[in-house]
């Protein structure tokens, strides 16, 4: 706009100069041809013109300086506006990226809500974090605290599209920092971060790591674990990445806590609260599957029915608390004997009666195992109210398919063998 105005002003001044020159040329010709005295008037006119031109020139220069100043100011404004536009474009792009990222959280939430067990939840959380953050070089690690020991251990890990086996199973100095502080951690470059001893870290883990982000997973006041992503490149992560990972970690913590609660409820539904053994319902649900499998493989399977001898006398003499001690002690002995037999199921059938399902076990093997258990129980001393006492057990043995072809019949045959052992004087093993 300014350039257009200056061009128009220049054109007007040029036309005025040509008109003035034309007038002077006419006056000069008149003075030469007609009247020489007219040169005096022409001289006065030239002096008047010069007197007029000098101030006009000064005014023109002044206006030119002002115009250049205005142009520079407008150019500065244009530069500032362009910088604002660039900043807005970057902010818009970042906002679009954020919208895309947070829209993906909906998918993560839906997938986590479908997981009932901690193992499945861990796998989904690690895979989704890998999908949102992962590259060919980044490593995603999910640590969880063990429910009984409280130790930190790897639950899931990814590197690119593959699972990775890590040397440090319980975390390194960065994970220990997060556990201690229970705060998110951003390390842009481990070689320049004064909080950590790089030399000590390099001796712990041979993986090349230069930057990482890590967040604690918490449920209420309880620490559940750590979600961490590291990269061999420095300055690979920023605060926005850490903020987004914190959101993912919060969703993951809810999923893990729900899965742990579900597993706890499930354990209460299938396990006896006193002895920790499976309940009868679990055994009855499991037996059809085992029958089909052994039938296909033409294999044998045995069932032991166990009953503590004269258990009521312990309750009457020492009280029900002492009776519970006896039941727990006996359950531990049975579990310890069969823990190394793959697929065996030890359950509390009811009251003081227990049973053991032993896959791929014939009647002779079942009889030998039952005999070992009977001797072990008889030798075990139990201290009740500062008094050493001993218990005995009667055991009945039945085998599929020799004694029965369906679960009801197998249970009946084992139960009949048990009562036979009772009738023969207890503390015995009888076969169906």
pLDDT digits (tens, 9 = 90+) for 56-87: 677 777 878 888 888 888 888 888 888 888 88
pLDDT at residue 9 in the model: 55
Same domain flag for 254 and 227: yes
Q: Is the pLDDT of residue 36 over 80?
A: no
Q: Is the pLDDT of residue 53 over 80?
A: no
DSSP-derived pairing of the beta strands 139-145 and 222-231: antiparallel
Percent above pLDDT 90 for the chain:
23
Percent above pLDDT 70 for the chain:
81
pLDDT at residue 382 in the model: 80
pLDDT at residue 39 in the model: 67
Answer whether residue 104 is part of any domain.
Answer: no
**Which of helix, strand or coil describes residue 66?**
helix
Query: What is the side-by-side strand order in the sheet with 152-159?
Result: 152-159, 139-145, 222-231, 211-219, 185-187
DSSP-derived pairing of the beta strands 185-187 and 211-219: antiparallel
Instruction: Give the closest residue to 127 by CA, choosing from 140, 114, 109, 115.
Output: 140
Answer whether residue 107 is part of any domain.
Answer: no
Lowest-confidence pick of 15-24, 25-34, 224-233, 287-296: 15-24
Q: Which residue has the higher pLDDT, 314 or 332?
A: 332
Last residue in a domain, options 199, 234, 269: 269
Q: Is the pLDDT of residue 2 over 50?
A: no
Instruction: Give the closest residue to 414 by CA, choosing from 427, 403, 424.
Output: 403
pLDDT at residue 16 in the model: 61
Write b or e for each residue in 23-44: b if 16 or more Cβ atoms lie within 10 A of its Cβ, otherwise e. eeeebeeebeeeeeebeeeeee
pLDDT at residue 61 in the model: 79
Same domain flag for 163 and 233: yes
pLDDT at residue 5 in the model: 46
Give per-residue pLDDT as tens, 339-383: 888 888 999 998 889 999 999 999 999 999 999 999 999 888 887
Last residue in a domain, options 216, 236, 269: 269
Alpha-carbon span 210 to 130, nearest angstrom:
18
DSSP-derived pairing of the beta strands 429-431 and 393-400: parallel
Structure tokens given for 224: 């559940």
DSSP-derived pairing of the beta strands 387-390 and 353-359: unpaired
With contact defined as beta carbons under 8 Å apart, do 249 and 185 qualify?
no
Last residue in a domain, options 210, 238, 269: 269
Average pLDDT over residues 404-428: 91
Give per-residue pLDDT as tens, 272-304: 888 888 888 888 888 998 898 888 888 999 999
Alpha-carbon span 131 to 158, nearest angstrom:
10
Q: Is the pLDDT of residue 3 over 60?
A: no
Same domain flag for 244 and 290: no
pLDDT at residue 184 in the model: 94
Same domain flag for 263 and 120: yes
Answer whether residue 103 is part of any domain.
Answer: no
pLDDT at residue 50 in the model: 64
Q: Could you list the beta-strand ranges (E) of 232-344.
A: 278-279, 301-308
Q: Which domain holds residue 123?
A: 116-269
With contact defined as beta carbons under 8 Å apart, do 163 and 204 qualify?
no
Of the segments 133-137, 262-266, 293-297, which one has the largest average pLDDT value?
293-297
Structure tokens given for 398: 């039945």
Answer whether residue 358 is part of any domain.
Answer: yes
Same domain flag for 252 and 309: no
Same domain flag for 123 and 260: yes
pLDDT at residue 225 in the model: 92
Same domain flag for 77 and 154: no
pLDDT at residue 263 in the model: 84
Look over the chain and give the mean of its residue pLDDT values, rounded to a whole number. Answer: 82
Q: Could you list the beta-strand ranges (E) of 121-253.
A: 139-145, 152-159, 185-187, 211-219, 222-231
With contact defined as beta carbons under 8 Å apart, do 377 and 396 qualify?
no
Same domain flag for 123 and 211: yes
Q: Which residue has the higher pLDDT, 159 or 293?
A: 293
Answer whether residue 92 is part of any domain.
Answer: no
Answer whether residue 346 is part of any domain.
Answer: yes
Answer whether residue 260 is part of any domain.
Answer: yes
Grade residue 246 by pLDDT with cuts at 50, 70 and 90.
very high
Grade residue 165 by pLDDT with cuts at 50, 70 and 90.
low
Same domain flag for 212 and 162: yes
Q: Is the pLDDT of residue 428 over 50?
A: yes
Grade residue 48 by pLDDT with cuts at 50, 70 and 90.
low
What CATH number does residue 388 fall under?
Answer: 3.30.70.270
Instruction: Give the closest residue to 356 by CA, choosing from 343, 347, 369.
Output: 347
What CATH number does residue 256 fall under?
Answer: 3.30.450.40
Answer whether residue 235 is part of any domain.
Answer: yes
Lowest-confidence pick of 2-16, 98-112, 291-305: 2-16
**Alpha-helix residue ranges (DSSP H) falling in 163-212:** 173-181, 198-204
Give per-residue pLDDT as tens, 179-208: 898 999 999 988 888 888 777 665 455 678
CA distances 43 to 22, 311, 355, Å, are 16, 147, 139
pLDDT at residue 130 in the model: 85
Alpha-carbon span 71 to 2, nearest angstrom:
7
Alpha-carbon span 234 to 202, nearest angstrom:
16
Give per-residue pLDDT as tens, 202-222: 545 567 888 999 999 998 778
With contact defined as beta carbons under 8 Å apart, do 251 and 216 qualify?
no
Same domain flag for 200 and 342: no
Same domain flag for 142 and 216: yes
- Relative orientation angle of helices 38-113 and 118-133, to the nearest 10 degrees: 160
Grade residue 307 by pLDDT with cuts at 50, 70 and 90.
very high
Q: How many domains does the chain have?
A: 3
Same domain flag for 373 and 399: yes
């Amino acid at each position: 706009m300014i350039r257009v105005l200056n061009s128009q002003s220049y054109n007007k001044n040029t036309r005025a100069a040509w008109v003035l020159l034309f007038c002077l040329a006419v006056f000069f010709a008149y003075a030469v041809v007609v009247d020489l005295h007219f040169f005096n008037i022409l001289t006065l006119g030239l002096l008047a013109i010069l007197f007029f031109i000098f101030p006009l020139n000064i005014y023109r220069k002044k206006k030119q300086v002002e115009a250049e100043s205005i142009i520079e100011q407008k150019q500065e404004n244009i530069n500032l506006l362009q910088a604002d536009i660039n900043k807005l474009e970057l902010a818009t792009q970042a906002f679009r990226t954020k919208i895309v990222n947070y829209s993906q959280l909906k998918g993560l939430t839906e997938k986590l809500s479908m997981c009932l067990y901690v193992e499945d939840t861990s796998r989904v959380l690690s895979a989704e974090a890998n999908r949102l953050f992962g590259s060919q070089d980044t490593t995603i690690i999910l640590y969880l605290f063990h429910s009984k020991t409280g130790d930190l251990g790897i639950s899931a890990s990814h590197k690119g599209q593959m699972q990775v086996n890590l040397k440090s199973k319980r975390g390194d100095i960065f994970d220990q920092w997060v556990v201690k502080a229970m705060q998110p951690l951003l390390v842009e470059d481990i070689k320049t971060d004064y909080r950590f001893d790089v030399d000590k870290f390099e001796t712990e883990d041979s993986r090349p790591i230069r930057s990482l982000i890590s967040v604690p997973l918490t449920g209420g006041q309880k620490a559940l674990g750590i979600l961490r992503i590291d990269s061999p490149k420095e300055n690979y992560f920023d605060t926005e990445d850490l903020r987004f990972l914190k959101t993912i970690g919060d969703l993951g913590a809810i999923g893990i806590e729900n899965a742990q609660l579900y597993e706890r409820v499930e354990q209460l539904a299938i396990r006896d609260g006193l002895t920790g053994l499976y309940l009868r319902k679990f055994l009855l649900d499991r037996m059809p599957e085992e029958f089909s499998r052994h039938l296909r493989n033409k294999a044998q399977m045995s069932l032991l029915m166990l009953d503590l001898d004269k258990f009521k006398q312990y309750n009457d003499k020492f009280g029900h608390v002492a009776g519970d001690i006896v039941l727990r002690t006996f359950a531990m002995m049975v579990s310890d004997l069969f823990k190394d037999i793959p697929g065996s199921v030890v359950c509390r059938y009811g009251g003081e009666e227990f049973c053991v399902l032993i896959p791929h076990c014939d009647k002779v093997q079942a009889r030998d195992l039952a005999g070992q258990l009977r001797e072990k129980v008889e030798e075990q001393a139990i201290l009740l109210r500062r008094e050493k006492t001993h218990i005995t057990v009667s055991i009945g043995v039945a085998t599929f398919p020799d004694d029965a072809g369906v679960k009801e019949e197998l249970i009946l045959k084992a139960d009949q063998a048990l009562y036979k052992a009772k009738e023969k004087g207890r503390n015995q093993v009888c076969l169906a």
